[in-house]
Amino acid sequence: MSTPIDTADEVLSGEAVAIDVQPLAFFMRALGALIDMIVGWVLFALFLWLRLWLLGLGVIDGSIDAILNITMLVVCFVVIPIVVETATHGRSLGKLAVGGRIVRLDGGAAGFRHAFIRALIGVLEIYMTFGAVAMLAGAFTARSQRLGDMVAGTYSQRVRTPKLVPLVPVMPPALAGWAEIADVARMPDRLARRISQFLQHAERMTPSARARIAHELVAATAEYVSPQPAAHPEDLLVAITVLRRERERRALVIADARAEKLTGRRVGV
C-alpha cells in the first residue's frame, strides 16, 4: 500500500517512501536571482556597446535604433533565460552557483512552458521592479516562490546535498534484550524496501514527515514481528533491519555449509 502524501514538501519515491524534497532557502534563492540579473544586465551592456559601435561605423542608422533597443531587451531578459532554463532543465548560472534547480510542484523537470511563463512574468517582478515584487512574494510563500513560479507551477529545489554515507544499521542498546527473544518473520519485499529507503533518507525528511512515516511502517510490520516492544518507532525499524540481516546471513552460512558437505560427499564417492 502506498504511503499517502499529505504535505507539500514530500515526493513519493519508487519504493513508495515519502522523501522530503527541500526547497532552496529564501536567501540562496535571492542570491541566485541576483546573479542571473547581473548576467542579464552584462549581456545587455555588451549588446548596447555593440550597437553603439555599429552606429559609429555607419553600419546601422538611427531609423532602426529603437527597434534594436527593444530587440536587445527581449533577447537578454526573455529569450536567453527561456533558452537556458529549457536546455538545462531549470539550471541557470545563478541556480548552479547556489545549488538549486527549477522543478515542477510534483518534483519533475520543468519544460519550455514553465520557462516561458517564468521569463515573461520575471520581466515585471524582477527587472521592472528591481526584484522587489519577487522578494515580497518569496518571503511569504512556503517554498520561496515568486509570482512566475506560482503561475507556472514551479519552485526552486535544493539539489546540492551532502553525500550520503552508506547505512550500516546497529542494534539499538535499548532493544538488545528484546532481540534475543524476538521473532521476525519474512516480510514482503516491498515493505522491506520501504523500511530500507526510509532509514536511508530519514535525516533529510522534515520532523513531521519522518515521525508519521516511521509510525506507519511500524504498524505495517506488526503482523511480522512478535512480540512488539514499546520502543521508539525508528529504533524498532533499525532493530528489525538488523535481525533480518542476521537471519539472512545465517541462512547463507547454512546454505554454504550444506553445499560444501554435498560437494565433499560427491568427491568421496
* Residue showing cell 512574468: 121
For the chain, what are the domain ranges? Answer: 10-158, 173-268
Distance CA 66, CA 196 (A): 62
Pairing of strands 100-104, 154-158: antiparallel
Percent helix, percent strand, percent coil in the chain, to nearest 5:
65, 10, 30
Strands (E), the chain: 10-12, 18-20, 100-104, 154-158, 183-184, 225-226
Q: Residue 238: which of 176, 149, 145 has the closest Cα?
A: 176
Helices (H), 77-226: 80-87, 93-98, 112-122, 132-139, 147-152, 176-181, 189-201, 207-220
Q: Residue 106: which of 250, 8, 181 has the closest Cα?
A: 8
Q: Is 17 helix (H, G, I), strand (E, B) or coil?
A: coil
Question: Quick check: 20 and 209 in contact, CB under 8 A?
Answer: yes
pLDDT of residue 169: 73
Distance CA 62, CA 55 (A): 8
pLDDT of residue 18: 44
pLDDT of residue 257: 74
- pLDDT average per 10 residues of sequence, the chain (269 residues): 40 45 82 90 90 79 78 90 91 88 85 93 89 88 89 86 59 84 84 86 85 91 86 88 80 73 57
Question: Quick check: 241 and 182 in contact, CB under 8 A?
Answer: no
Single pTM value for the model: 0.54
Q: Residue 157: which of 39, 35, 8, 13 has the closest Cα?
A: 8
pLDDT of residue 160: 65
pLDDT of residue 246: 80
